[in-house]
Chains A and B, each alone.
Chain A
Amino acid sequence: MPKVSLTVNGRAVSADVEGRTLLVQLLREKLGLTGTHVGCDTSQCGACVVHIDGKSVKSCTYLAVAAEGANVTTIEGLANGNELHPMQAAFKEHHGLQCGFCTPGMVMSAVDLAKRNSNPSEHEVREWLEGNICRCTGYHNIVKAVQAGAKAMAGAKAAAD
């Protein structure tokens, strides 16, 4: 069985995996990081989105062995202790979630968008979220949350700079 070594949420980990093991299985089943969800088997729904080296990736279509040496961030690695990441806080403030199942993937996608575009238009947000399906919210509040989260991230970055 191949061994894979990578960094997950800042922690160095290694695990024995099968060649067919997907990154999402490694995260959920071997590392106990169950915040990353599996909502489909065709890479359509986006519930499994994580960041690999800072970019959003669907972890259900990514072999665990391909993550060798990578820096992976999951939803569990986003908040600073009990202090929510600005994007998480925006989802709460704007009621951008209901059942919460698609939420981790949505938030991870949204953070990647916000890094690329600090002031996305409604149209840009809707287009970016094409790969994430939500069945509860009708997207209305998710769009608002992503716009507000992107602004908050830009504000936080400016303050830090």
Chain B
Amino acid sequence: MGAEGIGAAVRRKEDFRFLTGRGNYTDDINRPGQTHAYFLRSQVAHATIGNIDTAKAAKAPGVVAIFTGADFAADGKGGLPCGWLVKNKDGSPMQEPPHPVLAQGKVRHVGDPIAVVIAETREQAKDAAELIDVQLTELPVVGTMADAVKPGAAKVHDGGNVCYDWHIGDKDACDAAFKKAFKVAKLDLVNNRLIPNAMEPRAAIGDFDRATGEYTLYTTSQNPHVIRLLMGAFVLQIPESRLRVVAPDVGGGFGSKIFHYAEEATVTWASAKVGRPIKWTCDRAESFMSDAHGRDHVSHAEMAMDKDGKFLALRVKTDANMGAYLSTFAPAVPTYLYATLLAGTYTTPVIYAEVRALFTNTVPVDAYRGAGRPEATFLLERLVDNCAAEMGMDRVEIRKRNFIPADAFPYQTPVALQYDSGDYQATLASALKIADWAGFEARRVAAAKKGKLRGIGISTYLEACGIAPSAVVGSLGARAGLYECANIRVHPTGSVTVFTGCHSHGQGHETTYAQLVADRLGISIDQIEVSHGDTNKIPFGMGTYGSRSLAVGGTAIVKALDKIVDKAKKIAAHLLEASPADIELKDGKFVVAGTDKAKAFGEISLAAYVPHNYPIDTVEPGLEETAFYDPKNFTFPGGCHICEVEIDPDTGVTKVVKFTAVDDVGRVVNPMIVEGQVHGGLAQGIGQALLETCVYDENGQLRSGSYMDYTMPRADDLPSFDVATQSTLCTHNPLGVKGVGEVGAIGSPPAVINAVVDALRETGVRHIDMPATPSKIWALLNSGRRAAAE
């Protein structure tokens, strides 16, 4: 079975249904008697809500019901909870303002839902919503983080615009180290706000069954059990046993489908009110103003160095935009997922970071592909390039000089994390070779002859993923542990179903998980099904995000398989009249060691369920096991990305001509899937660096609110990629895996911008904020030319 086990590039089991149009996404589901919901959303960024007159709309064709925030409150239901508590420097808790499901009293961002119309068709609901008369008294808008902290600024919430003011590291030691510095490199930078834009818009169907009292929610979620927990316990306040959450095929998430959203709670609650199922499907314009956004940091960073260019201390000050409300995991992103990563791959002995989280009248921000780690990496890897410039050193040399050595693991950073394994010199060497770093100058000269500005950029990054370690995250402010669960059910004739608490929305779990089982049990992957996304089938789970599916979910599967094998050996020992200690599992057969006596896997499973003769006194019938896994630590993938660009000075257009990524993701289970995950991450990172950004005007209106305005990377915006992997194994999970989903999006933005800055270096440009659009570059080049001429 080696051909299908760990390490094999097995083609995906799930592809047949997706390729033939037989995927089953939430909007593909229809329930008998279904009605349709349309949300009336605020068109202004900040206002007091007066009277909401729904009388005319209620009489419109097809309308079944209309609900507002007042109806929700009158029913005694709660608001949307926040899952992470961050403390201020003085130890006091962060400001945690209420987040009503439907706005109550005020609207706080364009897109804030005010009312929901339920009608026979979606079009009727949409038509009727236009007839609702809402009295809004506009308030001053807090459009940006700079606005939020101005003296006398309007308040997004009664408690003011600061959510928290947090810090990590040793301030005094840091200040002392800076006093001893030979040189200091400084950098002001912005990490631009992004919109995740999974291709499947969010959707939800609430279906209350009066006969059983059970609520079912079909939703585009990355973690159905978490939605059940949050919605059941905090919003609807009903027992979980009466709430089933199904996340069927989900068309991409990238973080934006982790969170519990207002629409899910609304359709579930309202389906009981109207006595019929209610379906809501977002259109794209609506998703731009209702899906949680990502990133949005403004930072100042300083690195102190000694005379050899060794890093002595790093000092960082960051403002992080929370938007108008706290989304489910938002407070964690700019703190424990960001500042704890500021050591990167380097031995910087002292780090001090201050993070201020601010409320503004914009869409809430939360975790997006990489979450905090791309922000940390972008800051650090841009700063390290400036360090090299400040020292007059080579960019590669300064990195080599400061890397954590391969023999220094486990390595304790000054900002909480302990890395278990890595070899940064090796990934760097490999990437330099593949990218032909040494040959670059010749290519630069050749490009210059054509009138093009060619640049090369490098980033060596590290991330913390496999998000789970409950003790660690608990000490960092998580209000819940984050372990994972697997249940393995061996059926009587030897086929196997894996029930996992993780959720696949493009990552290929149905194949990768089947490979784990095939590898261990020696059966074909055709005999193995993977079931996920339904709280009625799976005991519990925390879903898929933060590259946790294989490191945490996969390990839970391995632990459950251990139990299966252990029990199967007892059954085999009975059937073969041997001692369980003498039974070996070889090539799908249970063999008495040193003999040719054997039982096939299918014979054992049949005996477990329908035996003629069974050791009932010592072994229970059945072959099904459950395991939970809570890792001791995060996993730490890392790597080196090298980007080569060519800029046309006449148009400002940047073309990525070559992109090399060498990623250390630990053991690789399916190299084809790993490569695909890297490609996708690179596209998102390059998209952020060159094309994508979320733009608000001074009134809080979203100007990049559709695909006409938000520049999604298209096929001809991107190159083909040169990717390779390296494997230093994770030391604390049995598979040795680290995670891959985010590495592409983490390593690539600084590589691209470093390349752009390198291309523009001779013109005097030292930094450019993302996205490095043609107009921005053209303006930079031309102001440089003007300056030179003057």
A residues lining the B interface (CB < 8 Å): 18, 20, 28, 33-42, 44-45, 47, 74-76, 78-79, 84, 88, 91-93, 95, 97-104, 107, 122-123, 125-127, 129-130, 132-143
Tell me whether A140 and B721 are in contact in the complex, defined as CB-CB below 8 angstroms, given that A40-B706, A45-B199 are known contacts.
Answer: yes
- Taking the complex as formed, is B308 at the interface, i.e. its CB lies under 8 A from any CB of chain A? no
Distance between B529 CB and nearest chain A CB, rounded to angstroms: 17
- Taking the complex as formed, is B612 at the interface, i.e. its CB lies under 8 A from any CB of chain A? no
Give me the 3 closest cross-chain CB pairs, A-B, nearest first.
Answer: A35-B21, A100-B18, A101-B251
- Taking the complex as formed, is B480 at the interface, i.e. its CB lies under 8 A from any CB of chain A? no
Which B residues lie within 8 Å of A97 (CB)? 15, 18-19
Which B residues lie within 8 Å of A95 (CB)? 11-12, 672-673, 675-676
Q: Is the CB of B683 within 8 A of A139?
A: yes
Q: Is the CB of B707 within 8 A of A104?
A: no
Which B residues lie within 8 Å of A103 (CB)? 18-19
Tell me whether A93 and B11 are in contact in the complex, defined as CB-CB below 8 angstroms, given that A40-B706, A84-B19, A133-B707 are known contacts.
Answer: yes
When C-beta atoms are compared, the residue in chain B nearest to A98 turns out to be B506
A55 to B154, CA, bound (A): 55
- Taking the complex as formed, is B436 at the interface, i.e. its CB lies under 8 A from any CB of chain A? no
Which A residues lie within 8 Å of B199 (CB)? 37, 39, 45, 47, 99, 101-102, 133-136
Q: Is the CB of B23 within 8 A of A137?
A: no
When C-beta atoms are compared, the residue in chain B nearest to A87 turns out to be B19
- Taking the complex as formed, is B778 at the interface, i.e. its CB lies under 8 A from any CB of chain A? no
A56 to B714, CA, bound (A): 18
A141 to B252, CA, bound (A): 17
Tell me whether A138 and B20 are in contact in the complex, defined as CB-CB below 8 angstroms, given that A92-B12, A130-B715 are known contacts.
Answer: no
Which B residues lie within 8 Å of A127 (CB)? 715-716
- Residue interface bits B2-32, CB-to-A below 8 A is 1, else 0: 0000000001101111111111110110000
Q: Is the CB of A136 within 8 A of B123?
A: no
Tell me whether A137 and B15 are in contact in the complex, defined as CB-CB below 8 angstroms, given that A36-B21, A41-B706, A98-B508 are known contacts.
Answer: no
Tell me whether A135 and B715 are in contact in the complex, defined as CB-CB below 8 angstroms, given that A20-B123, A42-B708, A76-B21 are known contacts.
Answer: no
Q: Which of B20, B284, B673, B715 contacts A39 (CB 8 A)?
A: B284
Q: Is the CB of B708 within 8 A of A44?
A: yes
Ordered by A's residue number, 14 sampled pairs between the chains whose C-beta atoms are within 8 Å are A45-B707, A47-B199, A75-B19, A75-B21, A84-B16, A92-B12, A92-B15, A99-B252, A101-B23, A107-B19, A130-B715, A133-B199, A135-B684, A140-B718
Distance between A143 CB and nearest chain B CB, rounded to angstroms: 7
Q: Which of B506, B676, B677 contacts A100 (CB 8 A)?
A: B506
Which A residues lie within 8 Å of B23 (CB)? 35, 100-101
Which B residues lie within 8 Å of A41 (CB)? 283-285, 706
When C-beta atoms are compared, the residue in chain B nearest to A102 turns out to be B199
Tell me whether A138 and B683 are in contact in the complex, defined as CB-CB below 8 angstroms, given that A35-B23, A36-B21 are known contacts.
Answer: yes
Best-surrounded residue of A78, A91, A135 (most CB of chain B within 10 A): A135
A129 to B284, CA, bound (A): 20
A44 to B23, CA, bound (A): 22
A91 to B672, CA, bound (A): 13
Which A residues lie within 8 Å of B123 (CB)? 18, 20
Distance between A49 CB and nearest chain B CB, rounded to angstroms: 12
Distance between B670 CB and nearest chain A CB, rounded to angstroms: 10
Q: Is the CB of A132 within 8 A of B715?
A: yes
- Which residues of B697-716 have CB atoms within 8 Å of chain A's CB atoms? 706-708, 712, 714-716
A145 to B682, CA, bound (A): 19
- Residue interface bits B666-705, CB-to-A below 8 A is 1, else 0: 0000001101110111111000000000000000000000
When C-beta atoms are compared, the residue in chain B nearest to A134 turns out to be B199
A95 to B198, CA, bound (A): 18
A-B contacts counted at CB < 8 A amount to: 184
Which A residues lie within 8 Å of B42 (CB)? none
Q: Is the CB of A142 within 8 A of B715?
A: yes
Which A residues lie within 8 Å of B283 (CB)? 38, 40-41
Which A residues lie within 8 Å of B707 (CB)? 40, 42, 44-45, 133
When C-beta atoms are compared, the residue in chain A nearest to B718 turns out to be A139
When C-beta atoms are compared, the residue in chain B nearest to A18 turns out to be B123
Q: Is the CB of B27 within 8 A of A38?
A: yes
- Residue interface bits B706-740, CB-to-A below 8 A is 1, else 0: 11100010111010110000000000000000000
- Taking the complex as formed, is B507 at the interface, i.e. its CB lies under 8 A from any CB of chain A? yes
- Taking the complex as formed, is B654 at the interface, i.e. its CB lies under 8 A from any CB of chain A? no
Tell me whether A34 and B679 are in contact in the complex, defined as CB-CB below 8 angstroms, given that A41-B284, A133-B199, A138-B718 are known contacts.
Answer: no
Best-surrounded residue of A18, A47, A74, A95 (most CB of chain B within 10 A): A95
Q: Which of B14, B505, B716 contacts A130 (CB 8 A)?
A: B716
- Residue interface bits B527-571, CB-to-A below 8 A is 1, else 0: 000000000000000000000000000000000000000000000
Tell me whether A126 and B716 are in contact in the complex, defined as CB-CB below 8 angstroms, given that A95-B672, A101-B200 are known contacts.
Answer: yes
Distance between B70 CB and nearest chain A CB, rounded to angstroms: 30
- Taking the complex as formed, is B254 at the interface, i.e. its CB lies under 8 A from any CB of chain A? yes
Which A residues lie within 8 Å of B21 (CB)? 33-36, 74-76, 104
A124 to B250, CA, bound (A): 30
Which A residues lie within 8 Å of B712 (CB)? 44-45, 133, 135
Tell me whether A136 and B506 are in contact in the complex, defined as CB-CB below 8 angstroms, given that A75-B20, A84-B16, A125-B715 are known contacts.
Answer: yes
Best-surrounded residue of A92, A95, A100 (most CB of chain B within 10 A): A100
Which A residues lie within 8 Å of B706 (CB)? 40-42, 44
Distance between B592 CB and nearest chain A CB, rounded to angstroms: 41
Which B residues lie within 8 Å of A76 (CB)? 20-22
When C-beta atoms are compared, the residue in chain A nearest to B369 turns out to be A135
- Taking the complex as formed, is B201 at the interface, i.e. its CB lies under 8 A from any CB of chain A? yes
A92 to B19, CA, bound (A): 8
A38 to B199, CA, bound (A): 9
Q: Is the CB of A100 within 8 A of B251?
A: yes
Distance between B646 CB and nearest chain A CB, rounded to angstroms: 15
A76 to B507, CA, bound (A): 23
- Taking the complex as formed, is B197 at the interface, i.e. its CB lies under 8 A from any CB of chain A? yes
- Residue interface bits B482-521, CB-to-A below 8 A is 1, else 0: 0000000000000000000000011110000000000000
- Taking the complex as formed, is B249 at the interface, i.e. its CB lies under 8 A from any CB of chain A? yes
A138 to B684, CA, bound (A): 8
Best-surrounded residue of B24, B123, B714, B744 (most CB of chain A within 10 A): B714
Which A residues lie within 8 Å of B684 (CB)? 135, 138
Q: Is the CB of B679 within 8 A of A39?
A: no
When C-beta atoms are compared, the residue in chain B nearest to A74 turns out to be B21
Which B residues lie within 8 Å of A122 (CB)? 720
Which A residues lie within 8 Å of B200 (CB)? 37, 39, 99, 101
Distance between B178 CB and nearest chain A CB, rounded to angstroms: 41
A82 to B704, CA, bound (A): 43
Best-surrounded residue of A20, A91, A136, A137 (most CB of chain B within 10 A): A136
A75 to B19, CA, bound (A): 8
Q: Is the CB of A137 within 8 A of B676?
A: yes
Q: Is the CB of B198 within 8 A of A99?
A: yes
When C-beta atoms are compared, the residue in chain A nearest to B15 turns out to be A92
When C-beta atoms are compared, the residue in chain B nearest to A75 turns out to be B21
Distance between B727 CB and nearest chain A CB, rounded to angstroms: 20
Distance between B255 CB and nearest chain A CB, rounded to angstroms: 12
A34 to B680, CA, bound (A): 25
A11 to B586, CA, bound (A): 52
When C-beta atoms are compared, the residue in chain A nearest to B508 turns out to be A98
Which B residues lie within 8 Å of A33 (CB)? 21
Which A residues lie within 8 Å of B718 (CB)? 126, 138-140
Distance between A127 CB and nearest chain B CB, rounded to angstroms: 5
Best-surrounded residue of A34, A104, A123 (most CB of chain B within 10 A): A34
Which B residues lie within 8 Å of A75 (CB)? 19-21
Which B residues lie within 8 Å of A134 (CB)? 199, 715
Q: Which of B19, B27, B252 contacts A135 (CB 8 A)?
A: B252
Which A residues lie within 8 Å of B683 (CB)? 135, 137-139
A18 to B127, CA, bound (A): 14
Distance between A135 CB and nearest chain B CB, rounded to angstroms: 5
Which A residues lie within 8 Å of B507 (CB)? 98
When C-beta atoms are compared, the residue in chain A nearest to B24 turns out to be A34
Distance between B22 CB and nearest chain A CB, rounded to angstroms: 7
A142 to B49, CA, bound (A): 48
Distance between B578 CB and nearest chain A CB, rounded to angstroms: 44
